[in-house]
Structures are given as C-alpha cells and as structure tokens.
C-alpha cells in the first residue's frame, strides 16, 4: 500500500506546529516568564531553542523523512539491528502514554468552553471557582463523557488519513488558533492598567536569571516543542524530499514561541487589571480552570457579553491547541500499529483509540471514584503526568541527541539537511557539536533535576 505524504509545504509546517503548540504554551510558559525575569527569561528561552530545541527537532525531522516510516520503524532501519532501535519504540510509547492523560485535560477545555458560553460563571464569588472545578472533575460521568467526545474528534481526523484528515484539519485549526490568540491579545492589552501586565511580562530583570532559571528555560524549550514523543519524526515521514528541514524547524519554533508569548499578553494584563498578584494565580490546572475564569469575569465585567465572549474564545483556544497536539500523539501510535502489524488505518486507529479510551477513563476517574488509588502519593492521572514529564520525555530527547550526534552517519545527515546538496548548510558543524555535547548534557541536567538526584532547581 502506497504511503501518504503531506500535500503541501504549508500543510506540513502547520501540522508540525500544531503538534508543538499545546496547553503548555498557555498554562506554563507565561507564568514561568513572568516569575523568572520577564524578557530576560524569553531571551534565555530563545537561546535554549537555538542550541537545544532546533538540533533535536531537525534530527527528528531528518530521521522521519529519510526513512519514510513510523517512529519505531525509522530507528529500526537506521540502527541496522542494534539496540538503538529501542529509541524509536520509546518514542511511540511516550506519545501514546502522554495522550492517555492529555486527552483528559482536552476534555476539560471542552466543558469550560460550554460553561463560558452559557455564562455559568456569572456572579460567582472568588471562592466558588475552585468548587466548580473540583466538583466537575470528581463527577463520575461528566468528565468521562467529554473525554469520549474529545477522543471521538481525534479518531475522526486520524481515520481520514494524512492529507484529508491531519493536513486538512491543521490548515483550519492553526489559522483559527492564531486569529483567536491575536483577538484575545488585543482585547486584553486594551484593558485599563494593561501596561503594568505588559511591563511585568516584557521588562527584563536579569537579577532573577540564575542556574535555576536557565534549567527551567531548557525544560520549557524541550517540552514546548514536542521533542522526544515521536510526533515530529512521524509527521516528517510524510514530508516530501524537497521540504527544507532546517527552515521548517525554525518556522515551527517561531510559531510555537509567538503563541506562547501572546498567551502571556492575554493573561497578565487581565490579572493586573483587577489588581491581582501574578504570583497568586497558580500554574497548570489551577491557573487555567480556577484562577482565570475569575480573572476574566472581573476584568471584562461580571456576566457582560464581553466577558462571555472573551472567556468562551479563550477556552475554545485551549481546546484547539489541545486537539492539534492530541492528533499528532494519536498519529504516532496509529502509524506504528498500521505499519508494523500490517493493519488498515481504520483498524489501527480504532485499536489505539480503544486503549486511549480505557486508560484515559482511568485517569479521569482518578479525581473521583478512583481517587483512593494512590502510588507514590499520586493518583493515576498524576502518575501518568509525572512519569512522562520526569522520565520519558527527557530520556527520549537525550537518546535522540546522542543517536543523531554519535551514531547516525554524518554524511547521511549532511545530505538530508541539504536536500542532496541543493541547500547550503553553514551551520552543520555547530549542529553536530550541539547534538554531541550540549544537548545531552543540558537534557541530562534537567533529567536529574526532575528525578530529584541533585535538586538543581530547588
């Protein structure tokens, strides 16, 4: 059976960008930027993208496009039977594993989009927002139903194939995501007192930049670009031979970074408008589903049409960002199952969807009926989240950089990124140097810190 490719370069870039742009752009990057030196953190982050993110992204693109195979198959081909083939299998497992709990959060964004649209937050006291969220996630039925809806959308896109499903959806969702982000940014910075929020985000405070902040920027750069989870390698396997790999990686990084910075422009002007301390808004789910509904209601007028529209658009933005990333994660596993076990796309996707539904449901119920199941003082959802973030992603990224820098044939590498000599590659030696020395060391430091071995960031 002939393997599909993306139908256009812009479709390939938008799909890869959709994989990178996710919930982390909204609920992690702005807070880390605001608390760690503002523009100073952004500069450090961009440097980390250049020396860490881009080399690994280019390598994943190269491995996928050269082999035109799923992530596991790609490493099996290039490793020629050596144990390095397990790097690809680790990537497939990581992408599938992340999707199990990531889909749960995607389902939450759907629910909160509906709550915002029906003005459910009107006249709610500040203390009520936490109760609204906790009651929802503890409900045995509602989060699970939203989870089924969210996964059903992913399944529909995946079964339609690369061109008609993934690429077509990316061409709709990514421009939509960018337009909504731009509209929300303009609305937020037009609020009274917004200048304080902009200053908080963009004023460089180099006194806060230390080894801890540098490590945080490294971790953010790595996680934000979807490195080490098979998505980029899988999508690149659908690139044609004329796709410029380095340029595509730069474009994806720019889109991802711009969206993350704009998210900060959405959040902080609103926070400062109501006189709230940015350090009190929380991070992750606490920021997104507890603090921000309250912030938006107060900033734009409790129950007003503007508050309803702004809040609804914001959660719809989160839903789109979660969906584009989830589609790429599903495709990693689907491509593996269909190619390695010779299944049709429909059967392979259905098998993956079924496993995600089962494990995703367990993660969802871990806030309610299954909350009593604890391991290492974590519920099922937290176990999936922490294990993927603390172990699977940094381990996968480090192995990819070592494989690309030390194992992969250097001439093959040069030929691929130059498209057979058609493109100039003056950065080649720097790229290899980063893959061999800088990236493994940097990721290793983040990895050890995540595991609490040396506690660099504590």
Q: Tens digits of per-residue pLDDT, 395-420? A: 999 999 999 999 999 999 999 999 99
- Give the pLDDT band of residue 29 (cuts 50, 70, 90): confident
For residue 457, the model assigns a pLDDT of 47
Residue 319 to residue 119: CA distance in whole angstroms: 18
Amino acid 89: pLDDT? 97
For residue 242, what are its two tokens?
């004329």
Percentage of residues in the chain having pLDDT higher than 70: 97
Provide the 8-state DSSP code for 164.
I
Tokens of 360: 């995703």
Query: What pLDDT shows up at residue 409?
Result: 94
What whole-number distance in Å separates Cα of residue 58 and Cα of residue 236? 10
Kindly tell me if the per-residue pLDDT of 281 is higher than 80.
no
Bridge partners for 375 per DSSP: 378
Q: Which residue has the higher pLDDT, 230 or 24?
A: 230
Answer whether residue 25 shows pLDDT above 90.
no
Nearest to 265 by CA among 212, 219, 197, 175: 197
DSSP state of 50: I
Read off the pLDDT of residues 155-214 as tens digits, 9 standing for 90 and up: 999 999 999 999 999 999 999 999 999 999 999 999 888 888 888 888 888 988 887 888
Residue 76: in which H helix or E strand, if any? Answer: helix 71-79
With cut-offs at 50, 70 and 90, classify the pLDDT of residue 283. Answer: low
Confidence grade of residue 115 (pLDDT, cut at 50, 70, 90): very high
The pLDDT, as a whole number, for residue 186 is: 94
Instruction: Pick the closest to residue 397 from 449, 435, 431 (CA basis).
Output: 435
How would residue 454 be classed by pLDDT, with cut points 50, 70 and 90? Answer: low
Q: Which of 37-51, 257-271, 366-380, 438-452 is predicted with the least confidence, judged by mean pLDDT?
A: 438-452
Of 11, 30, 55, 16, nearest to 443 by C-alpha is 55
Mean pLDDT of the chain: 91
Q: Determine the Cα–Cα distance for residues 272 and 381; give it in Å rounded to an integer.
A: 32
Q: What is the per-residue pLDDT for 162?
A: 95
Cα 85 to Cα 92: distance, rounded to the nearest angstrom: 12
Exposed, middle or buried: residue 444 (CB in 10 Å: 0-12, 13-18, 19+)? middle
* Contact between 62 and 232 (Cβ < 8 Å): no
User: For residues 60 and 227, is the Cβ–Cβ distance under 8 A?
Assistant: yes
What CA–CA distance (Å, rounded) separates 457 from 4?
44
């Amino acid at each position: 059976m002939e393997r599909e490719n993306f139908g256009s370069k812009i479709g390939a870039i938008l799909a890869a960008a959709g994989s990178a742009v996710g919930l982390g752009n909204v609920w992690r990057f702005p807070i880390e930027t605001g608390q760690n030196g503002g523009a100073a953190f952004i500069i450090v982050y961009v440097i980390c993208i250049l020396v860490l993110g881009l080399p690994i992204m280019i390598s994943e693109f190269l491995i996928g496009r050269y082999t035109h195979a799923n992530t596991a198959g790609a490493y099996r081909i290039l490793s020629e039977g050596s144990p390095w083939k397990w790097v690809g299998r680790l990537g497939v497992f990581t992408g599938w594993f992340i999707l199990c709990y990531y889909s749960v959060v995607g389902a939450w964004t759907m629910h909160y989009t509906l709550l915002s649209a029906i003005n459910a937050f009107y006249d709610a006291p500040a203390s009520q927002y936490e109760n609204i969220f906790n009651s929802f996630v503890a409900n045995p039925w509602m989060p699970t139903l939203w989870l089924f809806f969210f996964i059903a959308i992913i399944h529909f896109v995946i079964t339609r194939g690369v061109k008609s499903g993934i690429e077509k959806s990316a061409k709709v969702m990514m421009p939509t995501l960018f337009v909504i982000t731009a509209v929300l940014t303009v609305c937020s910075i037009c609020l009274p007192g917004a200048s304080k929020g902009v200053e908080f985000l963009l004023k460089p405070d180099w006194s806060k930049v230390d080894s801890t902040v540098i490590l945080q920027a490294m971790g953010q750069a790595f996680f934000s670009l979807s490195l080490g989870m098979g998505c980029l390698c899988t999508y690149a396997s659908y690139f044609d031979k004329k796709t410029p790999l380095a340029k595509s990686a730069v474009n994806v990084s720019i889109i991802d970074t711009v969206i993350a910075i704009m998210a900060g422009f959405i959040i902080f002007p609103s926070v400062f408008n109501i006189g709230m301390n940015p350090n009190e808004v929380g991070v992750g789910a606490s920021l997104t589903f507890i603090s921000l509904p309250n912030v938006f209601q107060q900033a734009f007028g409790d129950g007003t049409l503007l508050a309803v529209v702004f809040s609804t658009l914001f959660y719809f933005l989160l839903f789109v960002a979660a969906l584009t990333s989830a589609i790429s994660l599903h495709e990693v596993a689907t491509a593996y199952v269909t190619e390695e076990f010779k299944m049709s796309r429909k059967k392979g996707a259905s098998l993956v969807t079924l496993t995600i539904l089962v494990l995703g449901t367990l993660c969802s119920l871990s806030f309610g009926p299954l909350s009593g199941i604890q391991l290492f003082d974590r519920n099922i959802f937290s176990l999936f989240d922490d294990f993927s973030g603390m172990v699977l992603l940094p381990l996968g990224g480090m192995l990819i950089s070592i494989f690309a820098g030390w194992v992969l044939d250097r001439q093959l590498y040069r030929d691929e990124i130059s498209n057979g000599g058609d493109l100039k590659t003056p950065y080649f030696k720097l790229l290899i140097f980063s893959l061999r020395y800088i990236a493994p060391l940097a990721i290793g430091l983040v990895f050890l810190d995540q595991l609490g071995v040396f506690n660099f960031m504590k």
